[in-house]
Amino acid sequence: MTKITLYGHPDSGHACKVALALSLAGIAHETVFVDIWAAPETRPPAFLAASPLAQVPALVLEDAALTQSGAILLEIASRWRVLGGDSPEGLRRGAELLMWEANRIGMCLPQLIEARRPHGDSFPDGAVDWLTGRYETDRENFDRLLGEGPFFHGAAPGLGDCAIWGYVQWLEKAGVTPSASMATWTQRMQALPGMKSAEAFFPQPQTA
């Protein structure tokens, strides 16, 4: 059996995307908590060897070390033929959704979260308003892409749903409101077998 290790942190929506995909697909793996708020050089050596930029997520298989959440999701879907990866159409749909998420809603939401985080990065005047306006456009396009649903891949969730969940799960932290379709989709995602909170996906090690 291939040993699979996922490095991540509960504050990383990108890591949550991969953890959710592995969970929904029923792929056995272990997770390793990486403190993304600590200096990179303090992170586990095995993680640093797998992730040259010292960023989460990193997924380590016996034959490969993978980084960048979108690339990891595509690998999971195609390698195990899950979450839409069992057909060319499903993979194509997933790739389109991954590209949209990365460039649009998956860009503005983490920045809005960071803008509200105590002692977070400072933003130039007007940046938060711009990001909020971008989110409002993305919210409309979320509804268009979801269509009649119930999931972005149709009757069952796919890799696109996992990607979009990464930061849409934290709309309240970002200080924005969902559309009606977004709210019901979020409820469906939360009800999925295999869904966990970010903290449950990446539990922090207990200290003595």
| Interval 167-183: pLDDT, tens | 999 999 999 999 999 99
Return the residue matching tokens 């929506």.
Answer: 13
At 78 the three-state DSSP class reads: helix
State yes or no: pLDDT of 206 exceeds 80: no
Distance CA(8)–CA(11), nearest Å, equals 9
Residue 120 pLDDT: 80
Q: What is the pLDDT of residues 16-48, one digit of tens each?
A: 999 999 999 999 999 999 999 999 999 999 999
Task: Provide CB contacts within 8 A for 186, sequence distance 6+.
Answer: 168, 169, 171, 178
pLDDT 10s digits, 39-86: 999 999 999 999 999 999 999 998 799 999 999 999 999 999 999 999
Which of these, 50, 78, 58, 52, lies nearest to 15 by C-alpha position? Answer: 58
Q: Which amino acid is at 166?
A: G
Name the pTM for this structure.
0.95
pLDDT score recorded for residue 122: 87
Please give the share of the chain, as a percent, with pLDDT higher than 90.
92
Widest Cα–Cα separation across the chain:
53
Give the chain's mean pLDDT: 95
152-167 pLDDT per residue, tens:
999 999 999 999 999 9
Asked whether 130 and 67 are in contact (CB, 8 A), the reply is no
